[in-house]
Amino acid sequence: MDPTTPGFPGYPGYAGDAGEGQDLTRPFGAVLLATDLSPTSGPAEEEAMRLAARLHARLLAVSVIDPGTLRLPGGRFAARIDQVRDEREQAAQVLVARGHDVGVSTEFLVWEGDPGEAIVDAARAEGVDLIVLGSHGRRGVGRSFFGSVSDHVVRHAPCPVVVVRGPS
């Protein structure tokens, strides 16, 4: 269901159960895009940009650095957190410029920690109305081993969540 149509939770005037603390009488203020800025995040980035434009909302792109993924076997680090942060902030400039080109106020933040928890924490801290994130579409052992960020966000988010499938 398209969040810009009546009947979607979060649409101004939606008559359904708003859930804890969600005021559905006000327009959307912010859409949070969770992105790692990789090519697999492209479809989610496009959908978040489209939704923010249609909802006249600002777009807040959040990228999470998981320090645990920077460790090599043996305990050494493959990269420093500040290096990864700088790379992401440089890559995000393209996303922010694209948002401004289509008339969407776009900001970018970098958080550190477990990706699922950090996305939910960012959504709460920033008071967003909708979260958009991609799914790598892992199944079976890959999903069990790597966990599912999108599943965690869907289960714990303080607002509606749109999960966009990546390329198969």
For the domain that residue 127 is a member of, what is the CATH number? Answer: 3.40.50.620
Of 168, 139, 137, 140, residue with least CA distance to 150: 137
pLDDT of residue 60: 97
Residue 143 lies in a domain: no
Q: Please, what is the angle between helix 115-126 and helix 149-156, to 10°? A: 40
pLDDT of residue 74: 76
Residue 22 lies in a domain: no
Q: How far apart are CA 64 and CA 141, in angstroms?
A: 24
- What is the pTM for the complete model shown? 0.77
Residue 139 lies in a domain: no
Residue 3 lies in a domain: no
pLDDT of residue 30: 97
| Residues in contact with 30: Cβ distance below 8 Å, sequence separation at least 6, in sequence order | 57, 58, 59, 60, 126, 127, 128, 129, 130
Q: How far apart are CA 147 and CA 139, in angstroms?
A: 10
Residue 38 lies in a domain: yes
Residue 23 lies in a domain: no
Domain count within the chain:
1
**Residue 53: which domain range?**
30-132+151-165
Residue 62 lies in a domain: yes
Q: Are 156 and 124 a contacting pair, CB within 8 Å?
A: no
- Average the pLDDT over 34-60 and give the result: 93
